[in-house]
Structure 1
Amino acid sequence: MSKSQLSAYFFIAPFMIIFVIFMGYPVFYSFYLSFHQVVDYYDMFGGMKFVGFAHYIKLMGDSQFWWSILMTLYYAALFIPLNIAASFFLAVLLHNKLRGSRFFRTAYFMPNVLDTLVVGVIWIFIYLPNGPLDHILSAIGITNFSSTGFLGNPLSAMPAVVFAMVLKSAGFGMILFLAAIQNIPKSVYEAADIDGASPWQKVVQITFPLVKPIVLFLSVIGAITALNAFAEIYAMTSGGPYQSVGSQALGVTNLSGYYLYRTFESARYGYAAAISYVLLIITLVISTINMKFLSEK
């Protein structure tokens, strides 16, 4: 082995040690934990009983888990199209040579770098009963949310959370769309001008079809974001408000990521580990589909 190779391994070693300690070991230990039941919470290594696939079997019949998956699908169904539409609209708007476009690009992207927990706390104050948004709506005669606020109403809680996250995330998609639009040859638009195409026709028939790979990418990222959504739910709703479904009270914003957190918080460590691996499998399936479609593009 040459000196250059030894030097490379020497510089890589600190990262690999840190990765194994803080990432690799927890991954393998959580997989091990998913097949065990903790019986002694003061001894997380020796105080466990092997239960095999019991946690996974129990998960298949857990109505709370499947409800969280259903609410995650609802979150994704709202978030993905709204995020793509907002990102594409901003990109098309800023692609035009408008005065101050650089400032607006930065301004629209800034919320994306804020911590999700911070964004959630800010929106709590906006959505409060008799808060800023409620005053604006009351001025135009909409008073349905004055008593509960947007986050306290089962009908509006999820859309309110999604709206806040779209405003936070749209800047990222805007940058991707903007880069893709700027790579479209000007000759394509010049040919459309000669044919008498309107600005709307150029956007719908030229711009949007040529940026479809970005649409697909943001769709998959949005699905993964929904599966991992936690901080916004933790900050804004804590899984509520609750509504009666059959004989159970179920939270309308109790997403899969938040349900995983609540399971772990209640000291059901083995069961929480099993949930995390089921969510991992779903994420891997979505990512594989994404890679397949992108490679075809």
Structure 2
Amino acid sequence: VGGTLFSKNFSPLRLRVFGGTEPFFKKVPRRKVLEVFVGSMRRKVYQSILAYCFIFPFLIIFIFFLLYPIFYSFYLSFHEVTVFSDWYDPFGDMEFVGLANYFYFLGDVEFWFSLGITLIYGLLTIPLGIFLSLVLALLLSSKLRFRNFFRSAYFLPNVLDLLVVGIIWTLIFSPHYGLLDRWMGRVGIRVFSDGVLSDPWTCLPVIALAMVLKGLGFGMVLFLGAIQNIPSTLYEAAEIDGANSWQRFRYITLPLVRPVILFMVITGTIASLTAFAEVYAMTSNTGGPTVEFLGKTVRAANLAGYFLYTYFAEGFYGKAAAFSFLLWAVAMVISYVNVRFLYRGGR
């Protein structure tokens, strides 16, 4: 730091830092400059230390309960680890197998079937959930009577646990005594004698429908926030120019809620790849009715998340860890494609 602060480029502002009213280009003692500099650095260091003190508890929890398990699972994915491994000497009893666990799934028919029906499940839940959430948001953003009541009512199922919602829908779809079966019986419809959850063609769509209806409130709130932040002057200007309701929605509302759509696509993709509780509850922990796929008997609702759970439940921890990282890779690829597609469509 120099002893003289002088530049013709500075305007003659008053240097209030030094308690005077002299111009900025006046000679300033070296000692005062150093005092101000050191004081400023001390304040910054103090603020940094204070900020780290506030986030330190979270960092401890993050390191021990999230970061360490991720690296440890990645380590397990290269080893043969079962329930019979010596857990008192876990590192010494593990057998290093390299990429064998990964290649095991790449050659497994059930793995590809699980990914395929997970893709179908995502195609059923994500577009339908976004569409219905947007429709609800558009309806409840208007000057509708009791709209606050309807907003709360539609959001309430999102608060409930997935397992609870799955059990409720299982009771609704149950044959002989479920509400759906009784209503269909009153109008003379008897299509599924064993219930829709026992049919391999309807089991997965029914689970998807239940999860879409559960998550409508969350998407509705996101779209409501985005729609209410759109300036009304845009709609007024479009109306003056002769734009009808569809044109205002297409050229104003839809482009401005695109970030919400992107967020819901990515979170919906992750939810589809990790779907477990709904399958566990609505299929009584069976994975749904059996079907034949390439000569192998598989379960009709054996989604990727539930398939991963079965390997953990059976004690194949190394294979389960490898499968989880394969799912992570699939989620990253799908999310990247979604981001590129939606952003390109928005330009």
Q: TM-score, normalised by structure 2?
A: 0.78
Match of 1:225 in 2: 271
- Unpaired stretches in structure 1, ≥5 consecutive residues: none
Give the corresponding residue for 2:318: 270
Contact 1:241-1:252 within 8 A present in 2 as well: yes
Partner of 2:17: none
CA distance in 1, matches of 2:55, 2:320: 33
Deviates more, 1:16-25 or 1:101-110: 16-25
Write out aligned runs for 1:142-181 (5 A). Answer: 142-145=189-192, 147-181=193-227
Distance in 2 separating the partners of 1:81 and 1:195: 32
- Which runs of no fewer than 5 residues in structure 2 stay unpaired? 1-41
Partner residue of 1:15? Answer: 58
Selected match of 2:333 from 282, 285, 288: 285
Match of 1:133 in 2: 180
Identity of aligned residues (%): 51
- Structure 2: distance between partners of 1:132 and 1:233: 20
Pairwise CA RMSD: 2.2
- Larger relative contact order, structure 1 or 2 (CA cutoff 8 Å, min sep 6): 1
The aligned counterpart of 2:295 is 247
Change (3 A) 1:89 1:270: same
Q: Which moved more, 1:4-13 or 1:20-29?
A: 4-13
Code of the aligned partner of 1:79: T
Q: How does 1:112-131 map to 2 (within 5 A)?
A: 112-130=158-176, 131=178
Query: Could you tell me how far 1:283 is from its partner in structure 2?
Result: 1.7
Quote the Cα distance in structure 1 between the aligned partners of 2:95 and 2:247: 65
CA distance in structure 2 between the partners assigned to 1:100 and 1:46 by the alignment: 65
Question: Residue 199 and residue 33 in structure 1: after superposition, are their counterparts in 2 closer, same or farther (change >3 A)?
Answer: same
2:95 counterpart residue number: 49
- Tell me which residue corresponds to 2:125: 79
CA distance in 2, matches of 1:15, 1:66: 38
Whether the 8 Å CA contact 1:217–1:290 is kept in 2: the answer is no
Asked if 1 retains the 8 angstrom alpha-carbon contact of 2:203 and 2:301, the reply is yes
Q: Matched residues in 2 for 1:13 and 1:193: separation?
A: 53
Contact 1:87 1:171 in 2 (8 A): yes
Q: Deviations over 1:217-274 (max 9, x none)?
A: 2222211211111111111113111112232221111011110110111111111110
2:81 aligned with 1:38, yes or no?
A: yes
Q: Distance in 1 between matches of 2:78 and 2:317?
A: 10
* 277-286 vs 64-73, greater mean Cα deviation: 277-286
Q: Which has the larger radius of gyration?
A: 2
- Following superposition, which runs of at least 4 residues in structure 1 exceed 6 angstroms of deviation? none
User: How many residues are matched?
Assistant: 296
Contact 2:269 2:335 in 1 (8 A): no
TM-score (norm 1): 0.91
- Write the deviation string for residues 90-128 of structure 1: whole angstroms up to 9, x where unpaired: 111101111110111111111112111111111110110
